[in-house]
Amino acid sequence: MKKMHEEYAPRSWEQGMDRRTFLKIAGVTGGLLTMPGIPLKDLLAADPRIELEDPSYKSLYGVKDYYLQDPKWVEQTLPRLQWPKAGERVPEISVLTVSENPFWLDFMRKVAEDGKQIGLKYSLQQVSNARWLDLINKHLHGDIELHPSIIRPERIDASEWLTSRAHGLDRRNYGEWVNKEFDEVIRLQSAEIDPKKRLQHIWKGQKIIAEDYYIAQFGWGPFIVEAYNKNLWEGIVQSKGFGIASSNLFWTFLNIKPKTSRKRLIVGSTQLIETTNIFAAGHRFRSIGRMIYDRLAYLDKDLNVVPWAAESWEVLDNRTWDVKLRGGMKFHDGKSVTVDDLKFTLDFMLKYERGIFYTANQFLESVEISDRGNRKVRFRFKKPYAEFETYFLQLNVILPKHLFEGIMEKQKVGDNPRLLEIAHPIGSGPFKFGPYKKDVEMILIANKDHFAAPKIDELLYVVVPSVDGMLGRLETQEIDVAEETYLRPSQVKPLQKIKHLAIMRTPDIMWFHGVPRASWLPWRDIEFRRAWHHSIDREFLIKVCWEGEGRIPTSNTFFVAGNPWHNPNLPPTPHYDLKLARQILKDAGYSWDKEGQLVYPPPTDKKFIERISRVCKEGYTWGGLKMLPRS
């Protein structure tokens, strides 16, 4: 993980300039603000007062344009690292919600209302999805980062969540929690290729997060409830965590059989693909593209890794694997898939690709054809790599060498494969790219030569921009199934009356959680975090926001009960109890002013000082931001 940021040498923190001086200069120079070459951010940011307990984490905080290099981050962070004065109130808790997910706001309003009972004031702001992504990426989201799970096959690996959301050097650790024991566990699990031993490390990681009252799981779910036309179709496959009609785990599309002569399955979708270029793919082509470009491995409906384009793989040592390519595969233009295509693909990725495939391939050292006769390719990683099966093989595709060789030069796109124009993607997958009309419909034609050939002839995706429109078309039989459209009970009820529709509920592995800003006051205080966890009414989320379609988490972990990585031995989720929350705060030295607002413990409270400095639970070591020196 450190290597990700190594090329950014930490800026000289002594070059910082305070904001007031900067504004004076800006006011005088005016138009010079837009002149290139003036390192304005350098002038303002990199406040030298902000330090880390463990300097080895500096590489993250010195990343260009973020953290210490971002004046806004510095401006927001500084006040939260200052020792509270006597009688100082706990500041407003700021939370961003996304307008596309109204239940976030509904739920946080309840949390805010309950927060008043313990003296907390919340500030809720609703923004667009793009704006939310922008702010959380820059760590400008405020006190609590809300996040739902977005599941993809390569995200089933435990690292995808444990590392990304909680490792001290990962930018997606939105609470900036730096627990050195946890980071050590992550290091161990990422290098442990024995699945059983790795699982033990992963269980330990979950335990540390839970014991430290870091991420609060609000709800597990919502449930995956979908509908399809049972009069016309049979052979639906329920894939755990993905449902019956997911392009990410498309077992239904392979196995579904018509009950009539129509062999075209019509799937309603709120959105089609953004692009046909796999390198520039967003969420949609990453999922639909799986059916066009074979991955090396796949997941079965119970989320076990199964061979796919890779027939088998063999561990040679903890950083080397021999992968045997499946025989008899052909690209959609009839050319055979060979080990040369596989080697070419990874070489191409290593040379040019710095986007989604880079997240796995950055750890790859070399790719060689080790046994051409037996179709074997050797992958050697820079260091022990535990995610080989569950991430690397799930993510990587096989590109046709005969089409991609020299393509960068032919299309004059320099080093950026995102600019490639690939009007008609050719892969080796179970479906071929067919007629496509942007934002209207797309046809995928079954590849009958594929080793997992679909039983249907065609998959027709039709754009239906709204969920209500989707339900209407299910009713009128204009579509057979709606892609990844999870229904609420109020929507299911009228559908149950429609005779040709079957309602299916699939076990889910989803969650919705809140990440407190552990590096900031008041969250640095573990007792405050513990009290806050007890102030969350999870039942409200499940019963009201999700209309009963979810589970109250039994423990604070991403890996819900039913997830292959779930640790069943975790401490239970703190139960909703405002009186207890208040008592915890009182025992921790907090008080309330005349207006009922929560006040920090007095500056002389030694236990408070000790907790704020330590941040983590006793026995764990904090490596993150330090409090500013006392004035």
Residue numbers at the binding site for other proteins (CB under 8 A) = 4, 7-8, 34-36, 63-64, 128-131, 133-135, 137-138, 164, 171-172, 264, 266, 274-275, 277, 280, 282, 354-356, 358-359, 362, 415-416, 418-419, 421, 435, 437-441, 443, 460, 462-466, 469, 472-473, 475-476, 478-479
Closest approach, Cβ 539 to other proteins, in A, equals 33
Nearer to other proteins, 135 or 580 (CB): 135
* Beta carbon nearer to other proteins, 415 or 593: 415
Nearest distance in Å: CB 458, other proteins: 8
- d(CA 205, CA 219) in angstroms, rounded, equals 20
Tally the C-alpha atoms within 13 A of residue 340's C-alpha that lie toward its C-beta: 8
| Short-list 201, 194, 399, CA closest to 294 | 399
Q: Which is closer to other proteins, CB of 28 or CB of 423?
A: 423
Closest distance between other proteins and the C-beta of residue 565, in Å? 20
Q: How far apart are CA 237 and CA 256, in angstroms?
A: 8
Nearer to other proteins, 31 or 406 (CB): 31
CA triple 42-45-51, angle to 5 deg: 125
Closest-CA residue to 124 (of 103, 96, 101)? 96
CB of 20 to other proteins, least distance (A): 24
* DSSP type of residue 9: P
- Give the nearest distance from C-beta 330 to other proteins in angstroms: 26
Write a three-state SS string for 392-451: HHHHCECCCHHHHCCHHHHCCCCCCHHHCCCCCCCCCCCEEEEEEECCCEEEEEECCCCC
Closest distance of CB 431 from other proteins, Å: 15
The nearer residue to other proteins, 343 or 418, going by C-beta atoms, is: 418
CA distance 547 to 338: 51
| Least distance (Å) between residue 231 CB and other proteins | 16
Cβ at position 262, least distance to other proteins in Å: 11
Burial of 28 (0-12, 13-18, 19+ CB in 10 A): exposed
Task: Determine contact, residues 206/567, Cβ cutoff 8 Å.
Answer: yes
* HEC secondary structure over 575-594: CCCHHHHHHHHHHCCCEECC
CB of 26 to other proteins, least distance (A): 14
Shortest spacing between CB 522 and other proteins, in angstroms: 26
Alpha carbons 248 and 153: distance in angstroms, whole number: 7
Rounded-to-integer distance, Cα 71 and Cα 289, Å: 40
Minimum Å distance from CB 130 to other proteins?
5
Of the candidates 101, 114, 121, 226, the one whose C-alpha atom is nearest the C-alpha of residue 539 is 114
* Per-residue tokens: 530: 């513990």
- Indicate the residue among 318 and 416 with the shorter CB distance to other proteins: 416
**In the complex, minimum distance from the CB of residue 316 to other proteins, in angstroms, rounded to a whole number:** 27
**Residue recorded with tokens 């208040």:** 582
Q: Is 5 or 529 the residue whose CB approaches other proteins more closely?
A: 5
CA separation for the pair 30, 486 (Å, rounded):
52
Question: In sequence order, what are the residues at sequence separation of 6 or more whose Cβ sits closer than 8 angstroms to the Cβ of residue 615?
Answer: 177, 518, 519, 524, 526, 622, 624
Instruction: At 199, list the tokens.
Output: 């699982």
Q: What angle do CA 154, 160, 161 make, to 5 degrees?
A: 135
Q: How far is the CB of 19 from other proteins (least distance, A)?
A: 20
SS3 content of the chain, % helix, strand, coil (to 5): 35, 20, 45
In the complex with other proteins, the residue whose CB is nearer, 197 or 493, is 493
State how far the Cα of 616 lies from the Cα of 527, in Å rounded to an integer.
Answer: 10
**In angstroms, rounded to a whole number, what is the distance separating the alpha carbons of residues 265 and 584?**
57
Provide the pairing of β-strand 264-269 with 481-482.
parallel
Q: Is there a cis peptide before residue 522, judged by omega within 30 degrees of 0?
A: yes
Are 252 and 244 a contacting pair, CB within 8 Å? yes
The residue among 199 and 280 lying less far from other proteins, judged by its C-beta, is 280
State which residue, 173 or 447, has the beta carbon closest to other proteins. Answer: 173
Q: How far is the CB of 435 from other proteins (least distance, A)?
A: 7
Cβ distance to other proteins smaller for residue 266 or 310: 266
249 versus 462: smaller Cβ distance to other proteins: 462
Which residue number, 5 or 201, has a Cβ lying nearer to other proteins? 5
Q: Among 495, 465, 459, which residue's Cα sits nearest to residue 229?
A: 495
Give burial (CB, 10 Å; 0-12/13-18/19+) of 19. middle
The token duo for 291 is: 């059916």
In this complex, which beta carbon is closest to other proteins, that of residue 405 or of residue 475?
475
Rounded to whole angstroms, the Cα distance separating 74 from 72 reads 5
Quote the least distance from Cβ 217 to other proteins, whole Å: 22
Distance between CA atoms of 170 and 163, rounded to whole angstroms? 7
User: Closest distance between other proteins and the C-beta of residue 581, in Å?
Assistant: 33
Q: What are phi and psi of 457, to 5 degrees?
A: -95, -35
**268 SS3 class:** strand
For other proteins, the closer of residues 393 and 462 by Cβ is 462
**Between 5 and 533, whose beta carbon lies closer to other proteins?**
5
